[in-house]
Amino acid sequence: MDNNAPTITCSFCKRKVVARTQYDVPIYDPRSGFSLCANCIRDIYHLIEDHQEDENIRQHEETEQAINEELARIKPHLVKDYLDQYIINQDHAKKVLSVAIYNHFKRMKYGFQHPEEDDDIDKSNVIILGPSGCGKTALLSHLAKMLDIPFAVTDASSLTEAGFVGADVEVAVRNLYYAADKDISRCEHGIIYLDEFDKIARKSGENNTITADPGHEGVQQALLKMLEGNVVEFTARGQRKHPEAPTIKVDTKNILFIVGGAFVGIEKIIAKRLQKNDANIGFGAKIEGQDDKPKFDELIHQTTPEDLMKYGIIPEIIGRLPIICTLENLDEDALLRILTEPKNAPVKQYQKLLKMDNVELEFQEEALRAVAKKAIERKTGARSLKGIIEDTMLDIMFDIPHSDAKRRVIITAECINDGAPPTVETI
């Protein structure tokens, strides 16, 4: 027994403790005399540990509640209802996307409840195709606004293989990281939309072994790693890339990928395949007639992974995009509705603007039809609608503010077709 061991009074419990070793009174400051005995330290430690456990449970419950609330808010029919306010037609695409989003959240909930299981529910990455100006980008940007998880759109055509001039594929993840307000765990459950995905197809498409397009194939290979799920490393925005630059690491395992593009000309690949199939089963003669040529919309809905492969997307990528979502051409009636029905319809916007000048703006049905017809001639879907109206509206928007009188302005088909001035009535 060490008779020389000092006796120290614990500042907390006031017990006198013989300090045989430093562990009997682990905290002791001889200058101030402040001390904490081992018993007190143990008690405090348990107190903190219990509190931490409570805190972890609370956080877990909070996250689960947030996921449940979001799941209730984004049921497929509710997402479709929301999209219906902005996007005309394209019901099939709206359905496919709303189910994919809902499943993404369910997968997230499952992973949260069963952290020990790995990859139990497959990701439902989507590939969207459809003609130019039919609403692909618009659909996704409205979806992004409605969802409470980070969502970032990156133009695939701007991506290059590492080492080439342009943005590396990591940029897509970096965009998501910033969309998630730099919260890595939110980012790791977000959605990446790669627009203009057809632009990174191997140029030669079919039989491309000889004339392979190394640049684009390199980008696809790099994207494949991301789609498969790996840890992507990138530098912060504005930071130049050099070996010592600090990097941010994001695991893409749980990120949902949606890729989209016009895939111009894919209908020819589909038609060729269908013709071959029909010839094989004896209907070849029927298809060959020019009049029986299946329409674009019928063809595009029959897109298969093989068609995409022939278009120039590598099979490994296609394998990671199990859901094919197709959009249709917009006909005259659809364009007419796009002009007037969506919440942000061009006609509604002009009416709001002119109302501020005391003017009621009216488009005659024939005028709207004339706009739609012109847009169809331009073959750019709904994209040219705004431009066509803008041409007519410019003079009106210039002239109207000359007076403060209450007026009604009526746009007729002649205004659209021949540039005739609109009818202006004082009311």
Ligand X SMILES: Nc1ncnc2c1ncn2[C@@H]1O[C@H](COP(=O)(O)OP(=O)(O)OP(=O)(O)O)[C@@H](O)[C@H]1O
Question: Residues interacting with ligand X, by CB under 6 A?
Answer: 87-90, 132-138, 262, 330, 338, 342, 381-383
CB closer to ligand X, 232 vs 270: 270
- Residue 261 near residue 153, CB atoms below 8 Å: no
Distance between CA atoms of residues 415 and 367, nearest Å: 7
Rg (CA), the chain: 32
- How far apart are CB 299 and ligand X at their closest, in Å? 17
Q: Which residue is nearest to ligand X (CB)?
A: 135
- How far apart are CB 136 and Mg ion at their closest, in Å? 5
Burial class (CB in 10 A: 0-12, 13-18, 19+), 4: exposed
Residue 326 binds which of ligand X, Mg ion, none (CB < 5-8 A, kind-dependent): none
CB closer to ligand X, 135 vs 312: 135
- How far apart are CB 334 and ligand X at their closest, in Å? 7
- How far apart are CB 217 and ligand X at their closest, in Å? 22
- How far apart are CB 154 and Mg ion at their closest, in Å? 12
CB closer to Mg ion, 137 vs 412: 137
CB closer to Mg ion, 137 vs 160: 137
Binding mask 135-164 for Mg ion (x = CB under 5 A): -xx---------------------------
Question: What residues contact 269, with CB distance under 8 A and at least 6 apart?
Answer: 205, 206, 307, 310, 311
CB closer to Mg ion, 17 vs 194: 194
Residue 150 binds which of ligand X, Mg ion, none (CB < 5-8 A, kind-dependent): none
Binding mask 353-392 for Mg ion (x = CB under 5 A): ----------------------------------------
- How far apart are CB 135 and Mg ion at their closest, in Å? 9
Residues of this chain that bind Mg ion (CB under 5 A):
136-137
